[in-house]
Amino acid sequence: MASDSGSVLLALLVGAALGAGAGILYAPDEGGKTRQRIKDKARETSDELLGEVAKARDEISTSAQKQKLEFDKKLEDTISKMSYQADDIIAGLEAKLEELRKKNAQLQK
């Protein structure tokens, strides 16, 4: 989801930059001023893009960290449940073994 919004935002920023560049090129102004305005707009757009990339990177990092924590918790819960089930199975096997020992002792008398 963050990737989709990042792509849309990037497309909007690129479109705005291209539109602004085209507007500057067709505006009646001196060449030096036009080139300076293009440079300024390019720097501004570059700064905006870098900010958005940093923001997207932070959002992805936060999301990945949350998912890792959720996975770790689910894994711990699963291991805990399996441990209890293993204890129940061992207890059942021990009871069955004791029962077999008693039967064996009776048969040997």
pLDDT recorded at residue 17: 77
How far apart (Å, rounded) are the C-alpha atoms in residues 81 and 90?
14
Q: How is residue 31 written in tokens?
A: 């060449």
For 27, which DSSP code? S
Question: What is the structure's pLDDT at 66?
Answer: 94
Residue 74 has a pLDDT of 93
Task: Look at residue 70 and tell me whether its pLDDT is greater than 90.
Answer: yes
**Domain layout of the chain by residue ranges:** 2-108
Model confidence at 2, pLDDT cuts 50, 70, 90, reads low
**Radius of gyration for the chain, computed over Cα atoms and rounded to the nearest angstrom:** 34
> Across residues 12-34, what is the average pLDDT?
75
Q: Is it the case that residue 94 has pLDDT exceeding 60?
A: yes
